[in-house]
Amino acid sequence: MALAIFDLDNTLLAGDSDYLWGRFLVEKGIVDGEHYERENERFFAQYKAGQLDIFEFLRFSLAPLRQHPPKQLHQWRSEFLSSVISPLITESAIQLVQKHRDAGDTLLIITATNAFVTRPIAERFGIDHLIATEPETLNGHYTGDVDGEPSFREGKVNRLNDWLAENRQTLKDSWFYSDSHNDLPLLEQVDHPVAVDPDEKLIEVANTRHWPIMQLHG
């Protein structure tokens, strides 16, 4: 039984759930629109350029969780999943997951996006195992801080190694699907790295190293 690992944003999803959650908060008037939109765009550009300070971004992106009660947050998240995320779950992505499920592989999503946003998305794919950046909670409320190491760049490798030890799994014959050059540290660890609708930097690396490139979302 092999491990099939999937990045989420712009890989399994035909869009970026973290960025779109921010857009959703702006459109609902939940956050200050002008400031939040400007910062969201700035961080998104940094991410694509491989220059994102993950801790600065998380202080920004997790702040709304601290500012509202969990019940209200969950209501907003349900609306977000229905109106924004559901249309981004494509048949081709479902088929890719099913191919590995039929092969008996262990399915795992690993994402830098926080677990509040991504856990229900993983559930929609029927994937039980999720490694995501964990928002800290205290007495049932979000603090706006991070619990543990963010699963970003080398942090994905560290978090995955912890998960492997806890679950008595290995990377023998493992797969990892990703769109982003930010995931090169993990792509280099698996036996079957696959570039999915890759960004320009990942296309260059994949061509140089003869990694397969697939178009999952057209």
Q: Which residues are catalytic?
A: 7, 9
CA 187/CA 184 separation, integer angstroms: 5
44 burial class (0-12, 13-18, 19+ CB within 10 angstroms)?
middle
What angle (nearest 5°) sits at the alpha carbon of residue 91, between those of residues 85 and 93? 75
CA 158/CA 152 separation, integer angstroms: 9
The conformation of residue 213, written as its DSSP 8-state character, comes to E
Sign of CA dihedral 127, 131, 136, 139: positive
Q: SS3 letters for 154-170?
A: HHHHHHHHHHHHHHCCC
CB atoms within 10 A of CB 70: 14
